[in-house]
Amino acid sequence: MARRGPKPEPASVKLAKGNSGRRPIGAEPVIADDSGAVVPPAWMKAKALEVWKRLAPRLIALKLLGAADAETFGRYCTNFARWVKMQGVLDKEGEFYESESVHGKLKRIEPAFAIADRLEKSLSAAEDRFGLNPAERQRIFAARAAAGTSAPNDLFGATANPAKPGPQPGEAPKAKSPVGYLQ
């Protein structure tokens, strides 16, 4: 029998999102040492490495990819490369082909179409986990901001500059018009 409700998240993911409900998180997470560089797994092939080189720097900069995630992200890159390959086959061959039997001509689905469809479902799930779609990335950033985990840096890596006049993080900006006082 299948379990009901959403899949439970690991404690480290709950901590990264912030504990807005103030509920106990459970077991203490083991903090992985992400001080090392995030390198692609040795088993990745050329096309998958191209995907890695294109996406990994962005995810590392956003702190969505760490050394502990390299194998999982490598699998995502490999599946993405396979999906692109299947799309090329579909562009060349088409989504259907005809076969003949004793009953006449039959129109069948190209096997590459079924493979690409399965890969697309797998990729969609992985994209949510790595914040590779705008909605999920926004949700992760909003959870981080609500938890206050971005201090002293903001979400995009900018630091407060005490020499620069103006509002500092956590300080309300000075209103330039009467509309600003209403906020």
Mean pLDDT of 111-127: 89
- Report pLDDT digits (tens) over 8-52: 676 767 777 777 777 777 664 455 555 568 899 999 999 999 999
pLDDT per residue as tens digits for the range 129-143? 888 888 888 888 877
Rg (CA), the chain: 23
0.85 surpassed by pTM: no
Report how far Cα 25 is from the mean position of its chain's Cα atoms: 22
Q: How far apart are CA 44 and CA 87, in angstroms?
A: 20
How remote is the C-alpha of 151 from its chain's centroid? 22
Please give the average per-residue pLDDT across 56-78, as a whole number.
Answer: 90
Burial 59-89 (b: 16+ CB within 10 A, else e): bbebbbbbeebbeebbbbbbbbbbbeebeee
